[in-house]
Amino acid sequence: MTDKERELSNHYPEAPLLVEMAKTAWNGNLKAARVDFSLSDKLKAELKKLLDKEIKSIFITDSDVRHIKKNHG
C-alpha cells in the first residue's frame, strides 16, 4: 500500500473495499457487486449546492467499473 493509499484509507475507511472491488471487476473476475455509501451531512449539503438535488447515498457496481474500463463515459 502506498503512502497516498494509506492517507486515503485514514480519511475514508471504505476506500480499500471499493478499490478491491474495482480491481476484481476490472480484471473480469467478478460476476456481481455493489458498494453503497451513506453520505455525511456536510457532503450532502455540498452536493445539494452543486447539483440542486438531495443525494442521500452513492453506489457503484461491477457494471459501472466495466463501463468505465471500456471508455463509455
For 43-69, the pLDDT digits (tens) are: 888 888 988 989 888 888 878 877 777
Prediction pTM value: 0.48
DSSP state letter for 21: H
Tell me the C-alpha distance between 32 and 10, whole Å: 27
**Confidence category of residue 22, pLDDT binned at 50, 70, 90:** confident
The whole-angstrom separation of Cα 28 and Cα 46 is: 35
What distance in Å separates the CA atoms of residue 13 and residue 33, rounded to the nearest whole number?
18
Domain ranges of the chain: 3-69
- pLDDT of 8 strictly over 70: no
CA distance 46 to 58: 14
Give me the helix-helix angle, 3-11 and 15-26, nearest 10°.
Answer: 120
